[in-house]
Every structure is written in C-alpha cells, then in structure tokens.
Structure 1
Amino acid sequence: MHNWLKNNITVIFLAFISFQAQANPSPKAYDLAKYGIHPNTGKNSSPTINQAIQKVVAEAGKNTPIIIKFKKGRYDFHAEGALQKVYYISNHDQDNPKTVGIALEQYQNITIDGQGSDFIFHGRMLPISLVENNNLTLKNIHIDFERPQICQVKILENDVAAGIITYQTAPWVTYTIQDSTFYNTGEGWEMRPTAGIAFEEKTKHIVYNSSDIAVGTTHVSEISKGIIRAYKWKNPKLIPGTIVAMRSWHRPNPGIFVHKGKDIHLENIRIHYAEGMGLLAQLTDNIYLNKFQVALRSKNDPRYFTAQADATHFSGCKGVIVSNNGLYENMMDDAINIHGTYLKVIQKLDNKTILARYMHEQSYGFDWGYTGDSVQFIQSKTMELWDHKNHIQSIEVLRKKDSDPIQDFKIVFTNPLDEYIDPTQLDIGIENLTWTPKVTFKNNTVRNNRARGALFSTPQTTVVENNLFDHTSGTAILLCGDSNGWYETGTCRDITIRNNTFINALTNMFQFTNAVISIYPEIPDLKNQKKYFHSGIKIENNDFYTFDKPVLYAKSVDGIIFNNNKIKTNTQYPAFHWNKKEILFERVINAQINNNTINGKPLMYPYH
C-alpha cells in the first residue's frame, strides 16, 4: 500500500473518531451540593430537590447528556412542600392526587446518581416518579420510610384456650387506642390493621401453614407503653417470639413509578419499604434492572417486611424487561409480575368498531393502545383465542370531561371482525399484542415473601435462569392469564425455566399455588374449552428441594418439556398440600417428561 494512501486512511479514521466523540460527548457531571442540596441536615428536601434538578437541566441544555450526583448521606422528604401529581397507576389504588418526593418528567439522556444515599420519606408519599423519559438512569439510591404503614409486633404471650394474645409493638411503631381499637399512626395518616403475616423470629421465614391471618386490633387494652393485650385473638400458631406484620389491603403508591418511558435503567437501587409495589412500570419500552433490590437493610435489620405488595410489577410494557442480580425478599406479594391488560368488549357498533372498557378498579386511567397496534380477542369463559389477529385503525377515549380517568374506548379496526365476536352472546376480552415484552429474569434471589415468587404472562421470549427461590411461601413460578377478575393477559408461547434452585416453596396456600411451578390460567369453563391457552414451555436442569409432593402443575397447555430436573425431599415441614403428585396435568398435550430424578432415583412419569 502506498504511503500516501496509508496516511489518508489514517487521517480519515482520526476524523471519524473525532466526529464520533463530538456526536457522543461524555456526560457532564453536576454536583447537587453546589445547588444547595446537602445531606444529613434533617431538613425537608421535598421543595428543593426538584427545583435543583430542573435548574441543572436548564443550565446544561435540554437533552444534553448529564449526570446529576448527590453527596452521599441521608435526605428527608415530607409531604409538606412536595409535588402533587395526578397519576393513574396500574394495580394500585386510584386515589389522586399523589404526593411525590422526586418527579422526573420528560427528560432525556440523564443519570441520577445517589452515590449510596438514603432517601427517607415521611407520611404517605410516592417517593420517585419517572414519567415520559428517554434514556434515563437512576442508580445508587436507598428508598425507605421513617414510619411504615405496616405495623410490626412481637407475640409475648398466647393463651389459646382463652383467646387472649399479648403483643409488643416494634420500637419505631406509634399508635393510638380508641374505643378499645388499635390504630397504627404516622405523619398525616392513621389506619387499623385488618390482616397479618406471621414470621419465624430467627429465620424470617413465613410461619408454616399460616397464610393471611386475622390480627388482634379490636377489643384491646394497653398494659404498658408498647404492650397490647388483645382479648379476642385466637391463633395457636402464634407462639411467643413470633413476629407479625399487621397490615391493611391499601396500596396507594409504589416506591418507584415508571410511565411511558423508553430505555430506563435502574441500577443498584434498594427499596426497603413502599406502601404498594416496590416498582411499578407501565407503558414503557425497554427497562433494565441491575442489582435492583426490594429488601431488608441487612441480616440484622429489625424489620421483617419490605413492600406492601409486589416487589416489581410491569403492566403493558414492550421491548425488553431485564432483571439481573436482584434481591427480592419479605414483600407482601410476588417478586415480579409481568402482564398486559384485557379490555372487555362492551358493545359491537359495526363489523369494524367496538366499545371496550378497563374492568378492574385498580387497572384504569391510562392509555391501552395506539393506531397500528396488533390485537387479538379471547373468549373469557373458556380463555380461547380467536385465530385471526387485527390492527387498530383508530382508538378514541370516551369520557365526559378531560379530567375523568381513562376507562372506556371506541376502537376501529383495519379488518372486519369475526361475526362471532358478539358481546351480547359471549364475554369477550381484547389483548394488545404490540405492548408485550421479551423478558430476562436471571441471577436473582427471591425469598421469605408472601404469596408467590415470579409471574410471567407474555407471548414473547422469556428466559428464567440461575435464580434462587427460597421459601417463597406459595408457588415459586406462576404462568397465569385471566380475563375475568384482574383481566391480566396473557398466553406464554416461548418460556424457558432452567438452572434455577427452588427451596421449600409451598409452605402456605395462596391463589394458584398448585405446585412449585404452577401453570394456572383462570378458566371458568375448562370442560368446554377446545383450544389450549399456553404453549412452548421448557423446564430444564432445575434443582427442587421440597418437603411436599407437588413440583409441577399445568392446565391448558399444548407443548411442555420437563427434562433433567432433580428433586430432593426433606422433612423440614410436614407435608400438607392437597396435591399428592409430583406432576399433575389438566388438559395438557404434547408433553415431554424425561431424565428427571427424585432423591437420585428416576422420577416415574406417567404414573401407573
């Protein structure tokens, strides 16, 4: 090669590198301390932090890549001076407005780095909202509340014969007793717990075969400060030393709310308490969780609970959902739940037009679909899908005034509808297929939580691998689908569950807990179902450690593989489950069950 050619190539290459560097400049870092935001002051940060972030973005220029850093320490947030926002949040109480600590809205190319700071919230608040952001990263933040709405108590005495239990409130709990009724109190709120979850004192496992329990908050008296006697609380399983998380079913706010985002990254975030989900993301395209935790502060944390509901929950998202290296423990519901939402068809106006509605009271108020989206219909009673798909030509929100929540839609489709799609004859749901995500759930730990471990309801490729499910209380993995109650879509078509470890699931009975892995769509009329709901399920190379029988339950599946799994039994708890079979199928075809062992010996299936 001639020298002049070499030299010209070198010049062109260097010019290209220089152009790339100018086109993708390194983000400029901003220290919030220079804007008057300092940790460990005890002052209310609610009125100041949002203003400081807005000032930084304005100085940098909108959409300029920037990193905003907090000096490590504690920042306190109170309701006074906080933002008031109208947010309709899937699977939460639709009470508005929400009191928001930090609201990041319509930002691009921005990173918020807490550098390990504690964000401590007071009262009833939504800690952080991320709304309509593009390429946003939130990292190195601990979210907690000074006084959680879950009331923790320790059983001191239990006179089972008399039905009298004496308990002690945890040191951080404040309360009042009115007309012999116990109320948990905090900054700006008061509530009477109506249910509870009991934990073993030493292990922090949920007490075996206890599930949701009644709690002694009526007919009580105060014996001394923090010592309460309940005169009509009878439960022989609450031995002295048992810790009870007394709670209500209220779930107003997640710890982090993500709405209509694109390329959202949550890194090394730790949520220690939220009065709803730890994280709720909806209508978001690509969301990545790395070292995301809904967890206790440490093994020595005096608390036994974290979130009031799911650790993470994703509703109507698309692109990819990735959870790597997470820790989800002691929450009051599932570690992860991924689904869309069926609308119910209310009226068919013509062969291309319908009226449809969000049905569940906690699942409305936000967009459902857009022009061009792919959809399909389902018969709710048999959960059978119509073969043909369609596309949205137009979608119109129907409401009396703009301030009303979004609940009803007029939808026009590009192609004529099947004549049997007739809501006067059948209950019919409609699913948006465009807003369904691919999923990776990898290297996570799920433990000591109420209800279930992980729920997946998406037709896109889903991989669940190298996770530890340790004492999940109910089913460890659930594949569901429901067009009758919560109206949560939908079918799984390509899911791989491999190289996971399951330790003593099913110590308690909750919904859909038919086995360690439970494939359980809600089908009111299974006997008349002709098609199958789920398909493409592969369960391979997993280790099951269990004290009871059921390992795999499946209903309405065409195509399931259960190969090379190892089951080892123990006697940590007495077996009690109604299901006495390792594998139990209802309406399942094309199953492959090979090379599985139980205590080192071949697992025989089918049974003879």
Structure 2
Amino acid sequence: MKKQTIFLWPLVCCLFLLASCAGKSTGKTVYNLADYGICPDTKENISPLIAKAIQDIRQEVPEGQEITILLPAGRYDFYPDQATSRTYFVSNHDQPNPKAVGVALEDMEGITFDGQDAELVFHGRMLPVSLLRSKNCTLKNFSIDFEQPHITQASVVTNDTKAGQITLELAPWVQYEIAGDTLYVKGEGWRHCPSSCIAFEPETRRLVYNSSDVRMVLSKVKDLGGRKVLAEGWKNPLLVPGTVLAMRTWQRPAPGVFLSHNTNTVLKNIQVHYAEGMGLLAQVCDNIRLDSFSVCLKGKEDPRYFTTQADATHFSNCKGLILSENGLYENMMDDAINVHGVYLKVQQRIDEKTLLASFEHAQSYGFDWGFAGDTVQFIRSKTMELLDGTYQIASIRPEDQNSVCGAKVFRIAFTQALPAEVTPEQSIGVENLTWTPEVVFAHNTIRHNRARGSLFSTPKKTVVENNLFDYTSGTAILLCGDCNGWYETGACRDIVIRHNTFINALTNMFQFTNAVISIYPEIPDLEHQEKYFHSGIVIEDNEFETFDAPILYAKSVDGLVFRHNTIHQNEAYPPFHWNKHRVLLERVTNATIEDNQFEGGFDPANDILQK
C-alpha cells in the first residue's frame, strides 16, 4: 500500500487547525483509496470495497495519527448488497433496522475524508454516509444522490376538473406498474403508491401558489402508453397543464449524512441532491461546522424538481456551536434547518429523587438523551411554563432495553429532591439544558421548498443573518417549542435575526405559518399560562418583499424587538392569508416595534393586533 506524508508550514497548519479542529500534529498521512482497488466510473458495486478499505486503514493507523483519506474524482455506485450493515436509531426518522450504509466512519480521530468532487450514487434504500463517535474529523468535496429517487416526478398533461380526471406523464427515470387499478412506483428493493404531492411551476420551480399539500388519488388509474396515465378522483383547478408534481409517501427511513456522538466535526463543500429523509441529521454532537454544505438540484439543467424527502439539515440534542454558512437549500420537502432538543415525558415518580421518563414521538427514540452531570429543567406541557430551578442528573440508564440503542424509557436519578408536582398526573416534560447549542446560520440561500425556511429552538445565543429566504412557501423563520406533539425543545432566550432578505414567503399554508416570521410555541392551555415561553428576541435591519399582509406573529414572548426593517409590497400573487395584520401578538409583553419602513404606510391601530 502506497502512502505519502505531507508536511505543512506552521502558518498553514495553524489555519488548518482553526478550520477543522484537528489535533497538534504537523503532518498528515494520506491514504489514496485508488491504492485499495477503488476506481471511479465502473458502475460496479463499490460498497464492499469501501467497507474493506476503511477497515484496513483503521487497523493500520496508529492511535492519534491524523490522516487524510482521498477518493479519486468520478462516479461511484453503492448498492445495499454487501454494504456495511448497522443498527442506527436516528432522531426524527423512521426506524427500520438494520440499515445498509455506504460509507461508515466510526470511532475515528483526526481524519479528513476528501472526496475530491466525487459523485456518490446510491441504489435501493441506503444511508449514504455516517460518522459516529469521532473527534476532530472533516468530510468534504463530494455529492450524494440516488439512481432511483423514492419521490415520483410527473407532469400534468390534461386536467378535467368536472370529470375529476387528470392525465399525467411520468418522468423518464420513473419505474412504475399498474396492479389492478392502482399505480405503484418502484426501484431496487422497494415499491409503493404515493399518497401526497407537491406542485411546482414548470419555469420557476417554485411551489404553485396556494396549493400546499395536494390531495391525490392513484387507486383508479389507466395506462395510456408512452409513460402517460389517466387518474380519476382529481379535481384541483390549480394543476394546469405543464405543472410538475413531486408525488411521495411520508416515509423517511434514513438521512443522507448521519452524525452521532461526535466532537468538532466539519462538513465542507458537500451537495446532497436526494435522500429519503433529511439531507443531514446530527444528534448528540458537540460543535459542528457546515461550510458550503448544500441540499440542492444539480444545476439549471437538472430535470428533477425536488431534493430531500424532509429537512435539509436537522440537529437534535446537540451542544457547543452549530455554524452553518454558505449553503444552498432548495426544493426540499421541509425546512432548511431545524435545531432543537427532545423533551422526555415523566411516566413515573419512583421516589423524591428518581423518575422514569420516556421519549414520546415515534420517530425520536433509541439514542442517548443525557448523561450523569447534565443539568435539566421541568416544564408543564399544557401551559409550557417552566418549573422553578434546575436539577442535576446523578445517573441515567435505559429502563426498557439492555442498552440505549432502541430504548424509549430511562430511569433518571437526580442529586437533589425534585418538586412534588413532578409527576405523570401533572403532565411534566423534561428538558436537558446541557445538550443545547449556540447557533450561527449565515450567508445561506433557502428557496422553493415546502413548509418552512428555518426553525430554531434553543436557549443559547442564536444569530440568523445575511440569508436569502426566496419563496420558502410557508413561514421563513419559525421559533417553536412543543411538549405535546413533536416534543421538540425549547424556548429561545437570546436570538438575533438581522440583515436577511425575505422574498414572497407564505405562498402556501402549512403548520405554524402565521406570518413571514412566526414565533409559535405549541401551548394547549394559553389561557391559564402565567409565565412566558420565549424571550430576548431581536429582529432588525431585515428587508421583506411580500404580496400579502402578515410579517410578524408572536405568542408567549417576554421581550420582543422589531426595528429598522423595510417592507416592500408587490403584486406577485393575490393576498389570501387569513391573518390581515402586519403584526399579530398573543400574550406578548415588553414588545418594541419602531423605526420600520412599510411601503404604503403603517397604521399601528390597524396593522398591529395585540391579543
């Protein structure tokens, strides 16, 4: 095996260390995967060769040695057959196990995986890239795609709304069959009937105005030949000929990139063109930097109109700093970024210092929620009010499994006695404050996606600046918090939203879409809430271009500033939103709304509604 050592000049080395959080070595050993028989553009299954090469390199590298693994440029095809098999429980995803993993990097330290602009193309159902239990690692310079996406693209040929019949032409790469009267699409190792779809304008690739999630029926279908099918039960007048549909199920078995239990991770110049879940899912990680990590189409000539099945990037139970900059996030089926923790629900009070508490959402369980020494707080789920004080974990272990892997219930002992009201009867949630991150989301472009632009739910410092939110379809920025449905923590305490440009958000209605910026915690019993959920929110020096009225919605906030913003009005679409107020506030105190410029004027008496 050939290897070479590159020695870096001190200044270059220092810059590299700052960029990648690497160790103190002054040199890196380079392993070229070409020396392991891995060649591009063969169309052969590269999965077993990659797995064997990584295993060999791990065995050869001395502990603590920094290395670079080079993948020669070109296309590489990965198949589930002979791929690395792993049982991973991935936050906010379905949990089919085991998973076939294309590139599995585990228990590494100080490695750089450099794809040199390689194209990684996956087949069937796979988790493309994973990095687990690793420190000071960098992944860079490659793209991820699937040969046969699980989202089905079709174009509208004719639409007879009176008869309820629509003619669709399936995209050239779509494999399908009609069994009985039902249309099924299929790929290598999978087959399903799509149940919902998103409609795109053919020229702009934006979501069709006021279409949202389109109801569809594929159970009464006739094959017309030439990749055209006639379907009955459609009566949507918005689906004019030429409209492009992304038809899908709600399944999300695996992300494109999975990070778990890592420290100091850098992802640079990576493009995810498709994944059947999130583009990136990170859980229980400390310090993550994304630089030019994108979930995007393959340029203007890409015949596809969609990217990922769910969020572009998603961070669950992480800490340290999440830095996301210079990314392009487009045409995905959910948000560009979602940052949150996970509430456990109190199930049993064993004694004054011990609880049983459980994961509640069906897509979030089976991974570490906390560790001895962590600090937690308790919340009343009905009013989303915090109980006074914080508490330290003395010990935590799974109650329903032998290991954390797959566990839903934890036995948690605390160093001090708990309040008497921490009981299941009081519907109490548990938030881990130790595993909450600071966030910087800057210089990104978010466009043409379903649902929302970005979500932030962390009490640590959060800065959202210099981003372009371009036709995000729903709310551009959402500050949420929910201990009743999604169980995603928690309250924002220090967030600055500045120098962003918002262009025609709210072309469609989805969950939490009350305004361009929506501060919308889920509070079932707002009437009896006495404390406030969010606080310390500053929105300043932003530019809004909008065809409709609502700019800011806020609920349960103590300390809200909206100033020095400019709002331009246009006629891109007819206004349709139910919220006719520029600013709508529910249970908000200490709000400052000043020095904003509204094109056409601003009348506080009519444009601000305080409930």
- Taking structure 1 as the reference length, the TM-score comes to 0.95
**What's 1:518 paired with?**
518
**What's 1:9 paired with?**
none
Deviations 1:38-73 (A, max 9, x none): 100111000001211222333332331111111100
Counterparts of 2:500 and 2:438 in 1: how far apart (Å)?
19
Decide which moves more: 409-418 or 495-504.
Answer: 409-418
**What's 1:395 paired with?**
396
**What's 1:585 paired with?**
585
Amino acid at match of 1:458: T
Say if 2:209 and 2:508, in contact at 8 Å, map to a contact too: yes
Does the alignment pair 1:174 with 2:175?
Answer: yes
Does the alignment pair 1:563 with 2:528?
Answer: no
Counterparts of 2:276 and 2:244 in 1: how far apart (Å)?
19
Decide which moves more: 521-530 or 28-37.
Answer: 28-37
**Which of the two has higher C-alpha Rg?**
1
Amino acid at match of 1:138: L
Say if 2:104 and 2:130, in contact at 8 Å, map to a contact too: yes
After superposition, the Cα gap between the structure-2 partners of 1:417 and 1:520, relative to the gap in structure 1 and judged at 3 Å, is: same
Counterparts of 1:193 and 1:562 in 2: how far apart (Å)?
42
Amino acid at match of 2:485: G
Say if 2:198 and 2:214, in contact at 8 Å, map to a contact too: yes
Q: Please give the secondary structure, in 1, of the residue aligned with 2:424.
A: coil
Q: Please give the secondary structure, in 2, of the residue aligned with 1:41.
A: coil
Alignment of 1:137-152 (within 5 A): 137-152=138-153
Q: Please give the secondary structure, in 1, of the residue aligned with 2:287.
A: strand
Amino acid at match of 1:217: L
**What's 1:5 paired with?**
none
After superposition, the Cα gap between the structure-2 partners of 1:600 and 1:219, relative to the gap in structure 1 and judged at 3 Å, is: closer
**What's 1:494 paired with?**
494
Deviations 1:481-540 (A, max 9, x none): 000011100000000000000000000000000000000000000000000000000000
Counterparts of 1:198 and 1:63 in 2: how far apart (Å)?
51
Deviations 1:322-376 (A, max 9, x none): 1010010000001100000000001112211111010111010011111110000
Counterparts of 2:391 and 2:23 in 1: how far apart (Å)?
45
Say if 1:597 and 1:603, in contact at 8 Å, map to a contact too: no
Deviations 1:161-219 (A, max 9, x none): 11110010011111111011011110111010000000000000000001001223110
Amino acid at match of 1:43: E
**What's 1:319 paired with?**
320
Amino acid at match of 2:43: G
Counterparts of 2:24 and 2:489 in 1: how far apart (Å)?
42
Deviations 1:463-484 (A, max 9, x none): 0000000000000000000000
Q: Please give the secondary structure, in 2, of the residue aligned with 1:196.
A: strand
Does the alignment pair 1:237 with 2:238?
Answer: yes
**What's 1:8 paired with?**
none
**What's 1:339 paired with?**
340
Say if 2:151 and 2:246, in contact at 8 Å, map to a contact too: yes
Deviations 1:47-103 (A, max 9, x none): 001211222333332331111111100000011111111000000001111111110
Say if 1:595 and 1:602, in contact at 8 Å, map to a contact too: no
Deviations 1:110-151 (A, max 9, x none): 000001010000001100111111111000011000000000
Does the alignment pair 1:59 with 2:71?
Answer: no
**What's 1:253 paired with?**
254
Alignment of 1:75-114 (within 5 A): 75-114=76-115
How many pairs are equivalent?
590
Deviations 1:210-235 (A, max 9, x none): 10012231100110131111022221
Say if 2:51 and 2:83, in contact at 8 Å, map to a contact too: no
**What's 2:537 paired with?**
537
Say if 1:450 and 1:473, in contact at 8 Å, map to a contact too: yes
Decide which moves more: 534-543 or 28-37.
Answer: 28-37
After superposition, the Cα gap between the structure-2 partners of 1:351 and 1:182, relative to the gap in structure 1 and judged at 3 Å, is: same
Percent identity between matched residues is 57
**What's 2:224 paired with?**
223
**What's 2:31 paired with?**
30
Counterparts of 1:22 and 1:194 in 2: how far apart (Å)?
49
After superposition, the Cα gap between the structure-2 partners of 1:95 and 1:147, relative to the gap in structure 1 and judged at 3 Å, is: same
Q: Please give the secondary structure, in 1, of the residue aligned with 2:217.
A: coil
**What's 1:39 paired with?**
40
Q: Please give the secondary structure, in 2, of the residue aligned with 1:221.
A: strand
**What's 1:330 paired with?**
331
Amino acid at match of 1:492: C
Counterparts of 1:363 and 1:300 in 2: how far apart (Å)?
37
**What's 1:117 paired with?**
118
Counterparts of 2:99 and 2:245 in 1: how far apart (Å)?
29
CA apart distance, 1:602: 5.3
**What's 1:274 paired with?**
275
Counterparts of 1:499 and 1:55 in 2: how far apart (Å)?
49
**What's 2:293 paired with?**
292
**What's 2:473 paired with?**
473
Amino acid at match of 1:306: T
**What's 1:192 paired with?**
193
Deviations 1:526-563 (A, max 9, x none): 00000000000000000000000000000000001000
Amino acid at match of 1:479: L
Amino acid at match of 2:253: P
Counterparts of 1:66 and 1:385 in 2: how far apart (Å)?
47
CA apart distance, 1:402: 4.5
Say if 1:596 and 1:603, in contact at 8 Å, map to a contact too: no
Amino acid at match of 1:522: E
Counterparts of 1:93 and 1:388 in 2: how far apart (Å)?
35
Amino acid at match of 1:107: M
**What's 2:3 paired with?**
none
CA apart distance, 1:22: 12
Q: Please give the secondary structure, in 2, of the residue aligned with 1:155.
A: strand
Q: Which runs of 5+ in 2 are unaligned?
A: 1-9
After superposition, the Cα gap between the structure-2 partners of 1:338 and 1:23, relative to the gap in structure 1 and judged at 3 Å, is: closer
Counterparts of 1:28 and 1:197 in 2: how far apart (Å)?
48
Does the alignment pair 1:427 with 2:427?
Answer: yes
CA apart distance, 1:25: 2.0
Counterparts of 1:419 and 1:404 in 2: how far apart (Å)?
31
Give the aligned CA root-mean-square deviation in angstroms: 1.7
Say if 2:379 and 2:386, in contact at 8 Å, map to a contact too: yes
Counterparts of 2:411 and 2:164 in 1: how far apart (Å)?
56
**What's 1:411 paired with?**
412
**What's 2:6 paired with?**
none
Say if 2:368 and 2:404, in contact at 8 Å, map to a contact too: no
Amino acid at match of 2:453: G
Say if 2:337 and 2:453, in contact at 8 Å, map to a contact too: yes
Counterparts of 2:588 and 2:410 in 1: how far apart (Å)?
36
Counterparts of 1:444 and 1:535 in 2: how far apart (Å)?
25
Amino acid at match of 1:131: L
Amino acid at match of 2:206: H
Say if 2:23 and 2:110, in contact at 8 Å, map to a contact too: no
Counterparts of 2:435 and 2:469 in 1: how far apart (Å)?
28
Counterparts of 2:549 and 2:275 in 1: how far apart (Å)?
35
Say if 1:158 and 1:164, in contact at 8 Å, map to a contact too: yes
Decide which moves more: 50-59 or 62-71.
Answer: 50-59
Amino acid at match of 2:293: F
After superposition, the Cα gap between the structure-2 partners of 1:304 and 1:85, relative to the gap in structure 1 and judged at 3 Å, is: same
Q: Please give the secondary structure, in 2, of the residue aligned with 1:111.
A: strand
Q: Please give the secondary structure, in 1, of the residue aligned with 2:417.
A: coil
Q: Which runs of 5+ in 1 are unaligned?
A: 1-12
Deviations 1:233-278 (A, max 9, x none): 2211100000000000000010000010111110000000000000
Say if 1:275 and 1:307, in contact at 8 Å, map to a contact too: yes
Q: Please give the secondary structure, in 2, of the residue aligned with 1:49.
A: helix
Say if 2:106 and 2:132, in contact at 8 Å, map to a contact too: yes
Decide which moves more: 399-408 or 358-367.
Answer: 399-408
